[in-house]
Amino acid sequence: DARVTQTPRHKVTEMGQEVTMRCQPILGHNTVFWYRQTMMQGLELLAYFRNRAPLDDSGMPKDRFSAEMPDATLATLKIQPSEPRDSAVYFCASGFGDIQYFGAGTRLSVL
Amino acid sequence: QKEVEQNSGPLSVPEGAIASLNCTYSDRVSQSFFWYRQYSGKSPELIMSIYSNGDKEDGRFTAQLNKASQYVSLLIRDSQPSDSATYLCAVNRGDYKLSFGAGTTVTVRA
């Protein structure tokens, strides 16, 4: 059963610390998306890649967030330094064409 | 104006009834539309996609699209307690980037 795998599932950290979230997309999918979900803003697109190339990261706060895809099996989202307002659930999704499959998410709490 | 707007809910329906969810979108050039179901504490799960005007049926779910009115809907027939979830409408805004609505929470009363 192919699925998008995200780690860690939960992360509690203190303000100012670096946070790294990882995503393994479904094998064969050429597009990877990072989303953030909060009660106030809903589900927002942060960044996405196609064939490992970054296409759009306009949804990310540039000064503290970075997204990379070092190889076809790994995408990363980093926050440095983290702030309490970054507390949210971060989802990775992968797809081929316009169908996207979501991972289980990383629930981040920044104290 | 938000890109994708959904009726805010929550929507409570008795078991066996039809649940009707509505969604409007602002970008007239959008060509593909999706409904995702999200259980509390879980990730969104795709349940329907629709690309052409009219109805598309899949089991107890029917999606309806009217591009002229920029309107998408989802009907859940014979609602079951397991259908209790938040339903997210998503619109492809180009190059497979999706814009999501805020979601409508459905509760099916046994």
Tell me the mean pLDDT in the region B78-87. Answer: 97
Q: Give yes or no for a contact between B5 and B23, defined as CB atoms under 8 angstroms apart.
A: yes
pLDDT value at B8 more than 90: no
How many angstroms separate the CA of residue B92 from the nearest CA in chain A?
8
**Chain B residues within an 8 Å CB radius of A91:** 43-44
pLDDT value at B2 more than 80: no
How many angstroms separate the CA of residue B100 from the nearest CA in chain A?
6
Give the pLDDT confidence of B10-39 residue by residue, as tens digits: 999 999 999 999 999 998 888 899 999 999
With a pLDDT cut of 90, the percent of chain A lying above it is 89
**Chain B residues within an 8 Å CB radius of A36:** none
Is the CB of A104 less than 8 angstroms away from the CB of B43? yes
pLDDT value at B88 more than 80: yes
**B contact residues 63-102, partner A, Cβ 8 Å cutoff:** 88, 92, 95-102
Q: Give yes or no for a contact between B39 and B56, defined as CB atoms under 8 angstroms apart.
A: no
Please, which residues have CB within 8 angstroms of residue B70's CB and are 6 or more apart in sequence? B24, B25, B26, B28
Is the CB of A105 less than 8 angstroms away from the CB of B43? yes
Kindly state whether A97 is in contact with chain B, defined as any CB-CB distance less than 8 angstroms: yes
pLDDT given for residue B1 in this prediction: 66
Burial class (CB in 10 A: 0-12, 13-18, 19+), B8: exposed
Give the pLDDT confidence of A76-108 residue by residue, as tens digits: 999 999 999 999 999 999 998 889 999 999 999
